Amino acid sequence: MSNISQPLQALRRWSQQTLRHSVWPWAIAGAVAIWLAQPPCRLWPFAWIGLVPWIGFVFRESLKRRDYAKLYLVTTLLWAVTMQGIRHAHPAMYVAWWALAAYLAAYPVVWIGLARVARAHSRIPIWLMLPILWVGLEWVRNHFLTGISAVMLGHTQADVAPMIQIADLFGSYGVSFVVVLANAALAVAWWQPINAETSVSAKSSSDGDPSGIKVPSPSSPAIALTVAATVVLATYGYGSWRLNQADTLLAMSQPLSKNRTAAGSDSVPNNPAGVIALIGRDEPIVFEQDPKREQEIFTAYFRETIAAAERAAQQSRPLTAVVWPESMFTGGLPFLPETSDRSGNNADRPPDNGSNRPDETKPSRSEIEEVLAENRQHFRARAAEVQRQIRQVTGQPTGPDLIVGCAAVRYADVPEVHCACLHITDDGQVADFYAKKHLVMFGEYIPAIDWLPWVRSLVPPGMGVTPGDGPRAMRVADQIVSPNICIETAVERVTINQVRDLIASGNPPDQIINVTNDGWFNGTSIVEHHLRAAQLVAVGSRRPLLIAANGGPTAWIDGSGRIIERLRNDEAGSILVDFHPDNRPAAYLTLGEWPAGLAALALLATAIQGHRHRQKPQNTKGNRSPGGATPT
């Protein structure tokens, strides 16, 4: 300590005193730092120090239940501010908003509690256990109650391209691990020497501390800092190497062109190949949306599409495909599939509902079938007319394909409503469609609602979606596209598993397309969190990821997670995307979440260990080891 300046010694001494006597300053300091590191502030350096205040509680001699309660209150407020955008969807979502905040707030509190157990009883250094436990909890969060991957700690580094490239090895978990490791090393260097000096003379008691521990002997801050610095530098070096690979591949193909519509001039690229047009607008959305409003939205997107076609024509470039956001193509006329349902039954068989009974007020089965066939014909004619008018503008003889978000209704004895992404070929025929598999909790389904009739009465009309049955490989020209919908890119494992399944089936996708309607969130930071999750998915799969969004980030993301072009969330326009294949392998597609799963096992082992030590009688204080662990 002699080589440390007097002001720094005084600051460390003050830190010790406040940490010992009050939870509030350090709990709030950590929460503020983490909030600053993420959207809307996007001050990513704060993520590298934001956990240091919270880690101080791991080094505190005693942490009582009321202290954990204070921590939980602070983290609940942090998550409430972070996720407040969901309240805009519907008044009933205010309850879901606070329920989600209360649920997510438990994770950092559990992390601190288990880290205290690990520090007392584990042979692994605490600076290594902290990132292991954090990643284990992120794994649990990404699976429990269908999972949510948004706002992972690693996402704070989305603006620092070299630091997120390890996502092709370990996913977002890997980036989170590195960030927590750096925080842990700094915390050991800051907090542990203080406690090591004071714990010799301080009388420690575990009364009221749920972890039942005393402060153990310290470990070397020098080792922690050396390892953390090495890992951070290695991560940056690996990321720089991977980015150089991407730039080399790009230089060997046609140059990327920025083709944004909203304002400014458009430069004509050297590559005359076809482009994919991503259409984005910011149309207000409500749950109780009538067919007239749906038609207005359809018309607005059609006009935006024609504007994109005019710009493509000015560049003498045909449109290969046009992408509309989630649900925007419905226009009061949902798609009615004619294929078999998942059970092999005839999906377009109209429901019986007693229609065979001699009741003249009910339509017969044949009359219902006639209406369904007429609606299908109208749907095909409308799609073909959209394509015809695009061709009139571009002058191309065929195309473009349409990849559009649209409601799909399967009429059967038990009708099913899907949130779908359709692939419509240039003759207006639906070649295939993807039905959203991972539904939004509280937005598209409510757990156990069949057993909670009083909850059903609070659910707004139109809510309730049937999940799909798996990924689809849509062939557009010479490309294979893997579509997904809405938050499926915000649950990382969903998209990664879909890409892996398509590769295994012999249909490796060249690009991922996400159609989403983020208009529910009213331009709040949730939209940016969605975008960041998509950036990490692009790295993890090493595929370009294209987003067509309503009220959200219509964006072109390359296989390195870099945003090549995007529209503002409130901007109406389009992006013309050149296809540049990314042939780099991604170990994450092979390994999957196994490393993070192992961290979850370490989490479980720590929890069991803590439970065992709490259950042991503590009748003689002399039987406790100097490190705070009861001898076994």
DSSP per position, 293-350 = HHHHHHHHHHHHHHHHHHHHHHTT--EEEEEE-TTTT-TT--B---S--TTSS-TTSP
Residue spans of alpha helices (H) in 5-164: 6-21, 24-37, 52-59, 65-82, 93-121, 126-141, 161-164
pLDDT of residue 288: 66
Given 3.40.50.300, 3.20.20.30, 3.55.40.20, 3.60.110.10, which CATH number is that of 254-265+273-580? Answer: 3.60.110.10
- Residue 418 has a pLDDT of 87
- Of 89-93, 481-485, 523-527, the range with the lowest mean pLDDT is 89-93
**Residue 249 backbone dihedrals phi, psi, to 5 degrees:** -60, -40
How high is the pLDDT of residue 3?
Answer: 56
Helix (H) or strand (E) holding 565: strand 563-566
Residue range 108-117, pLDDT digits in tens: 999 999 999 9
Higher pLDDT, 29 or 612: 29
**What pLDDT is stored for residue 440 in this prediction?**
67
Other beta carbons less than 10 A from residue 355's beta carbon: 15
The pLDDT of residue 132 is 98
pLDDT of the residue at 452: 52
Condensed to tens digits (0 to 9), the pLDDT of residues 395-437 reads 999 989 999 999 999 877 667 888 999 999 988 899 999 999 8
Whether residue 456 contacts residue 472, with contact meaning beta carbons closer than 8 Å, is answered with no
Residue whose token pair is 């909203």: 262
pLDDT score, position 352: 53
Q: What is the layout of strands, in order, in the sheet containing 511-517?
A: 474-476, 479-485, 511-517, 545-550, 555-557, 563-566
Q: Please state the pTM of the whole predicted model.
A: 0.86
Q: Write down the pLDDT at residue 485.
A: 95
Q: Which range is least confidently modeled, 134-138, 448-452, 470-474, 613-617?
A: 448-452
Task: Give percent above pLDDT 90 in the chain.
Answer: 60
For the ranges 56-60, 145-149, 501-505, 597-601, which has the lowest average pLDDT? Answer: 145-149
Query: What value does the mean pLDDT take over residues 99-127?
Result: 95
Closest CA to 347 of 463, 440, 466, 461: 466
Do residues 112 and 54 touch, judged by C-beta distance below 8 A?
yes
CA angle 126-128-129, nearest 5°?
A: 60
| pLDDT (mean) for 2-9 | 65
Q: What is the pLDDT of residue 444?
A: 53
- Of residues 27 and 369, which shows the higher confidence score? 27
Q: Reply yes or no on whether the pLDDT at 120 is more than 80.
A: yes
Confidence of residue 196 (pLDDT cuts 50, 70, 90): low
- In this structure, what token pair is assigned to residue 14? 């003050």
pLDDT in tens, 243-258: 999 998 888 775 444 4
What are the sequence ranges of the domains in the chain? 17-245+590-613, 254-265+273-580
Q: Which tokens in the block code for residue 510?
A: 């060249």
Top-confidence residue, 623 or 85: 85
Q: Which two tokens stand for residue 15?
A: 């830190």
Spell out the residues 6+ positions from residue 597 whose beta carbon is closer than 8 angstroms to its own. Answer: 139
Q: Which residues are marked as active site? A: 326, 436, 486
Q: What is the pLDDT of residue 621?
A: 47
Give 47-87 pLDDT, tens digit per residue.
999 999 999 999 998 899 999 999 999 999 999 999 999 88
Mean pLDDT of 585-596: 95
Task: Give the residue-averaged pLDDT of 165-175.
Answer: 98
pLDDT tops 60 at residue 392: yes
Q: What single string gives the DSSP state of each residue in 82-97?
A: HTGGGGGS-TTHHHHH
Helical ranges in 122-148 per DSSP H: 126-141
Q: Using one digit for the tens of pLDDT, what is the confidence trace for 330-339? A: 998 999 987 5
Please give the pLDDT value at position 73: 98
Mean pLDDT over residues 223-236, rounded? 97
Whether the predicted pLDDT of 619 surpasses 50: no
| Model confidence pLDDT, tens digit, residues 464-477 | 668 888 999 999 98
pLDDT of residue 252: 79
Averaged pLDDT score across all residues of the chain:
84
Token code pair at residue 173: 């978990």
Of the ranges 124-133, 157-166, 234-243, 345-354, which one carries the lowest mean pLDDT score?
Answer: 345-354
pLDDT digits (tens, 9 = 90+) for 325-383: 999 999 989 999 875 544 333 444 455 554 445 556 667 777 778 888 899 999 999 99
Distance CA 577, CA 580 (A): 9
Per-residue pLDDT tens over the stretch 255-307: 444 443 443 334 444 444 589 999 999 998 776 667 888 999 999 999 999 99
Asked if 549 and 518 touch (Cβ cutoff 8 Å), the reply is yes
Phi then psi for residue 343, to 5 deg, are -90, 0
DSSP annotation of 629 reads P
Residue with tokens 């959209």: 386
Residue 450 vs residues 446, 456, 464, 505: alpha-carbon distances, Å:
9, 8, 12, 36
> How far apart, in whole angstroms, are the C-alpha atoms of residue 512 and residue 489?
10
Residue 91 region by backbone torsions, left for phi larger than 0, else alpha for psi between -120 and 50, else beta:
alpha
